[in-house]
Structure 1
Amino acid sequence: MVARQPLIRPERYGFFDKLLFAVFVLFLPPLLASKPGLFGDGDVSWHVAAGRWILQNRAIPTTDPFSFTMAGHPWIAHEWLSEVIYASAFDFAGFAGLAAIVALAVTALHWIVFAHLRKRVGPVATLVSFLALDLILAKFMLARPHVLVWPLLALWTSLLLDYRDKEQVPPLWFALLVTVWTNLHGSFPIAWIVAAPIALDAVMSARWSRPVLLGWLTFGIASVLAMLLNANGLTQLLLPLNILGMKSVYLIQEWNPSSPSISPLFYVVLLGTLAVVMLRGAKLRLGETLLLLFLLGWAFSQIRHQSWLVIVATMVLAPHLTGERAAEPLFPDKRVRRLWAGGALAVVALLALLRLWVPFEPKHSQTTPQQLLAHVPAEMRREAVLNGYNFGGPLILAGIKPYIDGRADMYGDAFVLEWWDIVSGDMPKFDRAVRKYDIRWTLLSPKEPLVKQLDASPQWRRYYSDKVGVIHVRR
């Protein structure tokens, strides 16, 4: 096993640190938030619509206000805070507003990661860590609620590690971060998953000291209570478990197991990291090992969990993989440091305003089918439609009630699986749905088998089609 030997940092690394900060914290996030696929998910639209509903009604919905198939059915709007943020941005500046919010969230994430790494590793390790981080996160960079909790996850992990290393117990007020997290996104159980192993390492380092054990236990209880401060109470805490137990979620790609064919970059980064771990002879603490193994297994089980793994692994693992000594403060003088921090915040604000000002119209696609919906006349918009899954969110944002949308937890397994059979060409089930809901038109992807069935049916005629979608109307 090769022992790590700290290296003396040359003075020129000070310039390298500033360059890394400028590139990865100030200028890269707005570029990442301008990528064409930022709106490549139908959920973006219904999240905006939900935020609009909350702002207009000054309340959080408890039943479905959007679809005709589940009208009045109980619905937990558990990501209401994210939806209000996105709706406000969209109403202010359209899709450019959504991109600006994503840019700010990614900037905050990068700033926190940079601050965490700079106290622990040198600039080369920081550069490699950011490259690995962004290679994985780019796939998940969408204008959806999960992006808003990325900086919270990084901050939560960083501060817990800081308190562990200082042999201190986190203050109870710090648990309020979990309250914000719980109302932003349904991934809040990750706060427990991260905190428990770090607490284990802290208690073991203190030789199971009673005060330390009770301190971390009290903080854990405070974190649980903080999660209860949400719009739905205990019901919201059980929602992630209910979603994980659904069979139909595997019809959605992000819920499928990871594989090299779907996410090759994840495996490239993973294999590279494992190689460095073996070459450096990294020695992780027990809690750190358990944490990374759990998140790795989670990422293998479902693609969507890769983002949580790479953020936490960057914070936990990077300091064990480098021989570079951490730097002195980037600006030792406090006054200079405050001036530079203020200047950096001003640059972030300027770039965010620029992102708001520059128009950002997404290309015509199933998740942003503006051209397709423009061909739907007003009278047809009021009639029942059977739609493809990705079209559900855009229909809601356009004021059209869908058959189904991205809220699979509300629709339930039976409904989603039956819809899947219908669009896969099961005509008896389709006919039953037509009679039950009085469906007058359909909006489907050209690749759906049902499209060919409708083309051949004398009861339906093709009304309009393009490369994104096909509209049929009932004769």
Structure 2
Amino acid sequence: MASAATAGWWERTRARLRADDGTDHFAPDRLDAHARALQSALPLFLALLIAFPVNLFMDGDTGWHLGAGHWIVANRTVPLVDPFSHTMPGKAWMAHEWLAEVVMVGAEWLRGWGGLAALFALSAAFTFWLLAREAFRFLPARLAVVAVAVAAGILFPFALARPHMLAWSLLAWWTLILLRAREARAAPPLAAALLMAVWANLHASYIVAFGLAGLFGLESLIENPRNRKLLGRWIAFGALSLAIAVLATPFGAEHFLYPFQVSGMKALSVIGEWRRSTLPADFLFYTCLGGLLLLAAKRWRTLPPLRVLLLAGLSVMAILHARHQMLFAIVGLLVVLPLLQPSRTPRPALKRTAWMVPALTLLIAVRLAVPYQFQEHSTYPLSLLAKVPEEIRRQPVYNEYSQGGPLVMIGVRPYIDGRADMYGDDFTFRAKAITAGDIAKFREDAARYHIGWVVLEYDDALLPKLKREPGWRVFAEDRNATIFVRANS
């Protein structure tokens, strides 16, 4: 009775609105027009939130990525040993994100900080467009907007000018290729494997692509156990993708093992992005996790087991390491969408979105035209560093972990920077202990490496101790950082 009354009210309302001007405001073509506008405007709006605030350059690793990019462009080769630090000269180093670093240098050459902001805003816009395009296939427009906005809300804290952000769109694109293949009960096109030629040289997250392909390939096998032709196509796709990932990089098979080696490092526990996700700091993530649990509790009889396994794996990874919330937001959203209304046939992807290209062009043009006001902070005390005379800058320095990247960027050899994979567990722990106030270890390393000056963030525990340490004096300081030199300098 209630549903019949509601349906009757809806039809009467629709008839009254149509009677006013002869236009049916709820006709499918008009709804599609509204959806097209939302689907295209939403990614641009979200990208604007990344293109103009200052949070994009809050991470010191941006500096050493730019330094690596400049080195690669100048030497026309990819480094195989450390060319930057004064503590690890000549140590083996795998510049596995070399392509992203070269692209970043190109954007910097175009318009400095504004060019970099434009590059990462463009990557974000394409990622959000892919997410929105799929969300509008499965959800009403309002719910699709909410779903994409929530995914963006999880991603925003990780919107930093580093290679991982350039890989967002590749992750979304790859996942969609696999999902569309499963939807069509087919295998992914072999041409899609070419994405690996870019992704494997851009960011180590490409390793996740093989896990996704394997899972969806297994799902296809379970559904079609006797279709050997289909199985062969999935195997061919996976084999070609793996071959390209190994052969299209300067490092060969060793590059494929790199992500596993890094994930086993003990020093990850003292690096902020590898922290565990906590409820106060990651409320939106845990809210989404709660929604997944409710979905599983309500529809556990009908949910595809391997999709549930994938979502559970993404959730555990994101809980253990906050940086994996990016995988949870992008892959998780795309995997969940078909599960929300399993009995409903998804709409075809909305067409006639060609105006996205000029809209994105306008976004980039505006970002390039408006000068980027870089705001210095404790990781990037650039004005303070500029006061250091050249004869002191050439001496070995002790620096806080996150400040190493900016030092590389301005041509100073750091004590340590964000390449913890190269420095190793022991050295990274030692550097963190010194910054945390271990003055005895500082004295040892100051003697071992002939440290001539020190740069510290305003809240480093070593700072007040070094102000009392004989043989050192404050050279310059501001609200962001303090620079020390030897007392006889």
TM-score bracket, normalised by the shorter chain, equals over 0.9
The match for 1:457 among 451, 454, 469 is: 469
Once residues 157 and 190 of structure 1 are traced to their aligned partners in structure 2, the CA distance between those partners, rounded to angstroms, is 10
Q: Over residues 417-464 of structure 1, what are the superposed CA-to-partner deviations in whole Å (9 max), with x where a residue is unaligned? A: 111222222222211211111101110122222212211112111111
Q: Aligned match of 2:85 in 42, 55, 67?
A: 67
Alignment-derived partner of residue 7 in structure 2: none
Relative to structure 1, the CA distance from residue 404 to residue 328 in structure 2 (aligned partners, 3 Å threshold; closer, same or farther) is closer
Q: Which has the higher contact order (CA 8 A, sep 6+)?
A: 1
Residue 387 (structure 2) aligns with:
375
Contact 1:387-1:402 at 8 Å conserved across structures = yes
Aligned equivalent of 2:63, options 45, 48, 51: 45
**Residue 357 of structure 1 aligns with which residue?**
369
Query: How does 1:14-163 map onto structure 2 within 5 Å?
Result: 14-163=32-181
Higher alpha-carbon deviation: 82-91 or 419-428: 419-428
Closer/same/farther in 2, CA of residues 426 and 78 from structure 1, 3 Å limit: same
Q: 1:280: Cα distance to partner?
A: 6.6
**Would the aligned equivalents of 1:125 and 1:318 in 2 still touch at CA under 8 Å?**
no
Q: Is the 8 A contact 2:296 2:303 kept in 1?
A: no
Aligned residue in 1 for 2:320:
301
Q: Secondary structure at the match of 1:366?
A: coil
Write the letter of the residue equivalent to 1:285: P
1:394 corresponds to: 406
Deviation of 1:116 (Å): 2.5
- Mean alpha-carbon deviation: is it higher for 379-388 or for 281-290? 281-290
CA contact (8 A) 1:49 1:396 kept: yes
- Report what 1:429 is aligned to: 441
- Give the 3 Å change call, closer, same or farther, for CA 329–413 of structure 1 in structure 2: closer
What's the CA shift for 1:276?
4.9
Deviations 1:79-123 (A, max 9, x none): 000000001111221111111011110111122222323333332
Q: Which deviates more, 140-149 or 9-18?
A: 9-18
Q: Is the 8 A contact 1:105 1:151 kept in 2?
A: yes
Partner of residue 17, structure 2: none
1:330 to 1:220, Cα distance in 2 relative to 1, 3 A: closer
Offset from partner CA, 1:141-196 (integer Å, 9 cap, x none): 11110111111111111111111111112222211212211100011110012111
Whichever residue aligns with residue 395 of structure 1, its letter is L
Contact 1:201 1:286 in 2 (8 A): no
CA distance in 1, matches of 2:186, 2:345: 24
| Contact 2:114-2:368 within 8 A present in 1 as well | yes
Per the TM alignment, residue 289 of structure 1 is displaced from its structure 2 partner at its CA by: 1.4
**Matched residue type, 1:108:** F
Task: Give the whole-Å Cα distance in 2 for the aligned partners of 1:436 and 1:367.
Answer: 25
Note the C-alpha offset of 1:273. 4.2
Change (3 A) 1:429 1:459: same
Show the counterpart of 1:4.
none
Contact 1:193 1:291 in 2 (8 A): no
Given that 2:134 and 2:349 are in contact with CA atoms closer than 8 Å, whether structure 1 keeps it comes out as: no
For the 8 Å contact 1:256–1:301, the answer to whether it is kept is yes
Deviates more, 1:454-463 or 1:14-23: 14-23
Alpha-carbon RMSD across the aligned residues, in angstroms, is 2.1
SS of the residue corresponding to residue 470 of structure 1 reads strand
Aligned to 1:175: 193
| Paired position in structure 1 for 2:282 | 263
Q: Aligned residue for 2:210?
A: 192
- Please give the alpha-carbon distance, in whole angstroms, between the structure 1 residues aligned to 2:479 and 2:200: 39
Q: 1:424 to 1:114 in 2, by over 3 A?
A: closer
Shift in alpha-carbon separation, 1:282–1:86, aligned structure 2, 3 A = farther
Per-residue CA deviations over 1:14-54 (Å, capped at 9, x if unaligned) read 24312322321233213323222101100011111111111
Any conservation in 2 of the 1:282–1:321 contact (CA below 8 Å)? no
What is the CA–CA distance in structure 1 between the aligned matches of 2:58 and 2:136, rounded to whole Å?
34
2:455 aligned residue (443, 449, 454): 443
Map of 2:294 onto structure 1? 275
Residues 227-238 of structure 1 correspond to what in structure 2 (within 5 A)? 227-228=245-246, 229-238=248-257
Aligned 1:188-337 pairs, distance under 5 A = 188-228=206-246, 229-276=248-295, 278=297, 283-322=302-341, 326-327=346-347, 330-331=350-351, 337=352
| Number of equivalent positions | 461
Q: Could you say if the C-alpha distance between residues 125 and 274 of structure 1 is closer, same or farther in structure 2, counting changes exceeding 3 Å?
A: farther
- Structure 1 stretches lacking a partner, 5+ long: 1-6, 332-336
2: distance between equivalents of 1:326 and 1:17?
14
- AA partner of residue 183 (structure 2): D
Contact kept, 8 Å, 2:456 with 2:483, in 1: the verdict is yes
Query: Against the structure 1 CA distance between its residues 208 and 471, is the aligned structure 2 distance closer, same or farther, given a 3 Å change threshold?
Result: farther
Find the structure with the greater CA-based Rg: 2
Q: Is the 8 A contact 1:277 1:321 kept in 2?
A: no
CA deviations over 1:187-226 (Å, ceiling 9, x no partner): 1110012111111221222134222222212222222112
Q: Which residue of 2 aligns with 1:414?
A: 426
Whole-Å separation in 1 of the counterparts to 2:263 and 2:334? 27
- In structure 1, what is the Cα distance between the partners aligned to 2:304 and 2:78? 43
Residue 176 of structure 2 corresponds to residue 164 of structure 1: no
Is the 8 Å Cα contact of residues 455 and 483 (structure 2) preserved in structure 1?
Answer: yes
SS in 1 for 2:476: strand
CA contact 2:397–2:415 (8 Å) conserved in 1:
yes
State the secondary structure of the residue aligned to 2:453: strand
TM-score w.r.t. the length of structure 2 is 0.90
Percentage identity across paired residues of the two chains = 38
Cα 1:125–1:197, aligned 2, differ >3 Å: closer, same or farther?
farther
